[in-house]
Amino acid sequence: MADEKLTSQKENFSEWYNQVVLRADLADYSPVRGCMVVKPYGWALWENMQSQLDRRFKETGHVNAAFPMLIPKSFFEKEKEHVEGFSPELAVVTVGGGQELDEPLVIRPTSETIIGHMYAKWIKSYRDLPVLINQWANVVRWEMRTRLFLRTLEFFWQEGHTAHATAEEAQEETLRMLDVYADFAINEAAVPVIKGVKSESEKFAGAVNTYSIEAMMGDTKALQAGTSHNLGQNFAKAFDIKYLDQNNTLQYCWTTSWGVSTRFVGAIIMTHGDDNGLILPPRLAPYQVVIVPIYKNEEERSKVMEAVESVRKQLSGFRVKVDDRTEVTPGFKYHEWELRGVPLRLEIGPKDVEKNSVMAARRDIPGRAGKSILSQDQLAGQVQDLLDTIQAALLKRATDFRDANIHDVSSYDELKQVVESGWANAFWCGCADCEAKIKEETKATSRCQPFDQDRSQKGACVVCGKETDRRTYFSKAY
RNA sequence: CGGGGUGUAGCGCAGUUGGCAGCGCACCGCGUUUGGGACGCGGGGGUCCGCGGUUCAAGUCCGCGCACCCCGACCA
């Protein structure tokens, strides 16, 4: 596997990305164009992400359920914007059991329609509200161009779907889940994200408002890492989701939906990775620690392996891999586990047995500078400290990189220049024409209008000059 | 769907004028190695993308398909 140098990020970021995904053994191409096989190492990473997200969903009152993958095609014709948004990318089943179907079935691209249909059946009274359901599922969207994890025909995600009695509650829920995503991204994945509102043209098909967390990748392009939609009463009206309020009056519900997908794996790869490969944040890494034993002969081997065993026992509270392969040398293992992003490597050889020590190597600091000698006594505490340090260092590095590549711009020329290698923070009037012009001429799109901004300042829209108090990020994006 | 490219061993590729299908890595066996990508010897593995044609003879020439990759429009 790991027999050659990786293409460097500087040379060709996108080639670097592809090579890392394949060589780190996260995923592989499938026989079907645009689909991917998530391999055990990649899936283990996803499972850790899932459990951190799922814990947060439960803590905020949500429960999991499973809705079917096949949805009657007619459901996609009920909400006008939703139809327009999704019809070009639907996969449709027309034959079942050798018979032409009376009504074609769509393989879900997202589940607002089928869930809306069921909610209409389940919700009768204000006492039934709110309904707070999440599902972990796979969905299919017939994309033109695909890339492993970032955009595949089939992908895995969670989609939360909630129904509320009031507009205020739905809005609160929408923002609560955006906060959950940001908290996960920052504190688990060490991916600094910016929360904000999507523009009219970038919002979800059928939503009143779409909010997102936006992340900056290592090549300064943006990646939408999670979204939360306030659907207003659009789907409630299309699917007849109604309840009787305290005054015995029939009301439409207010609904939301929100999702994070396996795309986030791509965000982790492109936020932290370097020219030696993947760097995984300790809190999500499938293996937090890899132990590489070193010995020359049978006598050394038995002593070293004894120490390795005792270290492994001390570290039972961590996700540890002991690489006891005999067919490859320690140096080979160092390179391989660096490529695969394990945050901390412990080397144990004859010298360590003698001195009751282990050599620790941090993945985030290459070479000698990242190495330190630990005592075998009270190792768990030292390892925990190192992992915490690495987690914090990754977040800081990514945050510094992001901030260094976001520039306030005050003119259109400046914006054009900035989006070639970073994000532009610009006053924008919010109109579709100005946005379209930027996209047309620079290939940069509006990412979000960040919550965190000083609205007392006014300025001129970088395109048309109209006065506004709103700044928006523009950049090239995945 | 437009533009470009590629299909030969698991992967990366070479294959001249049409004349026994090869190389590197990976894999298997044995031995020596092992603190930053080890080495020697031996070995296994092929529908040359598919179909049709030309020819004594096709990986190679001709025709028609198909698939995948890259660049655009579309998207989480």
DSSP state letters, A15-33:
HHHHHHHHHTTSEEE-SST
Question: Stated in angstroms, how far is A464 CA from B9 C1'?
Answer: 61
Residue A13: per-residue pLDDT: 86
Nucleotide nearest to A277 (CA to C1'): B37
Q: How far apart are CA A318 and CA A48, in angstroms?
A: 13
Q: How far apart are CA A91 and CA A76, in angstroms?
A: 12
pLDDT per residue as tens digits for the range A246-281: 999 999 999 999 999 999 999 999 999 999 999 999
Nucleotide nearest to A14 (CA to C1'): B70
Residue A179: per-residue pLDDT: 98
pLDDT per residue as tens digits for the range A170-211: 999 999 999 999 999 999 999 999 999 999 989 998 999 999
Question: Stated in angstroms, how far is A3 CA from B24 C1'?
Answer: 12
Question: Stated in angstroms, how far is A187 CA from B9 C1'?
Answer: 47
Residue A94: per-residue pLDDT: 87
Q: Where are the beta strands (DSSP E) in A108-170?
A: 131-140, 154-164
Q: How far apart are CA A380 and CA A316, in angstroms?
A: 9
Question: Stated in angstroms, how far is A22 CA from B49 C1'?
Answer: 23
pTM for this structure?
Answer: 0.96
Q: Is A97 exposed, middle or buried (0-12, 13-18, 19+ CB in 10 A)?
A: exposed
Nucleotide nearest to A298 (CA to C1'): B34
Question: Stated in angstroms, how far is A223 CA from B65 C1'?
Answer: 39
> From the C1' of B33, which residue's alpha carbon is nearest?
A296
pLDDT per residue as tens digits for the range A105-138: 999 999 999 999 999 999 999 999 999 999 999 9
Tell me which H or E stretch contains A347: strand A344-348
pLDDT per residue as tens digits for the range A396-408: 999 999 999 999 9
pLDDT band (50, 70, 90) for residue A2: very low
pLDDT per residue as tens digits for the range A434-473: 998 999 888 899 999 999 999 999 999 999 999 999 999 9
Q: Which residue has the higher pLDDT, A253 or A11?
A: A253
Residue A84: per-residue pLDDT: 84
Tell me the backbone φ, ψ of residue A393, rounded to 5 degrees: -65, -40
Nucleotide nearest to A2 (CA to C1'): B37
pLDDT per residue as tens digits for the range A294-314: 999 999 999 999 999 999 999
- 8 Å CB contact between A83 and A203: no
Question: Stated in angstroms, how far is A262 CA from B44 C1'?
Answer: 39
pLDDT per residue as tens digits for the range A41-68: 999 999 999 999 999 999 999 999 999 9
Q: How far apart are CA A265 and CA A26, in angstroms?
A: 9
Q: Give the lowest-confidence range in A96-100, A159-163, A373-377.
A: A96-100
- 8 Å CB contact between A222 and A215: yes
Nucleotide nearest to A276 (CA to C1'): B37
Question: Stated in angstroms, how far is A168 CA from B39 C1'?
Answer: 72
Tell me the backbone φ, ψ of residue A327, rounded to 5 degrees: -85, -10
Tell me the backbone φ, ψ of residue A111, rounded to 5 degrees: -115, 15
Residue A316: per-residue pLDDT: 98
Question: Stated in angstroms, how far is A409 CA from B37 C1'?
Answer: 46
Q: Which candidate, A418, A459, A457, A458, places its Cα nearest to that of A438?
A: A418
Bridge partners of A105? A72, A93
Q: How far apart are CA A223 and CA A473, in angstroms?
A: 12
Pairing between strand A357-362 and A344-348?
antiparallel
pLDDT band (50, 70, 90) for residue A218: very high
Structure tokens at A392: 């914090």
> From the C1' of B34, which residue's alpha carbon is nearest?
A329
CA A235 to chain CA mean position, Å: 26
Residue A75's contacts (CB-CB under 8 Å, 6 or more residues apart) are A106, A113, A114, A117
Nucleotide nearest to A326 (CA to C1'): B34
Strand B bases contacted by the protein (CB, 7 Å): 1, 25-28, 33-38, 67-76
Tell me the backbone φ, ψ of residue A259, rounded to 5 degrees: -155, 150
- 8 Å CB contact between A134 and A141: no
Q: Which candidate, A276, A418, A386, places its Cα nearest to that of A337?
A: A276
Tell me the backbone φ, ψ of residue A230, rounded to 5 degrees: -95, 115
pLDDT per residue as tens digits for the range A331-363: 999 999 999 999 999 999 999 999 999 999 999
Q: Which candidate, A249, A253, A258, A257, places its Cα nearest to that of A237?
A: A253
Bridge partners of A248? none
Q: Which candidate, A74, A113, A81, A46, places its Cα nearest to that of A210?
A: A81
Q: How far apart are CA A16 and CA A277, in angstroms?
A: 8
Residue A107: per-residue pLDDT: 92
A93 φ/ψ sector (left φ>0, alpha ψ -120 to 50, else beta): beta
Tell me the backbone φ, ψ of residue A217, rounded to 5 degrees: -85, 170
Q: Which candidate, A229, A130, A215, places its Cα nearest to that of A399?
A: A215
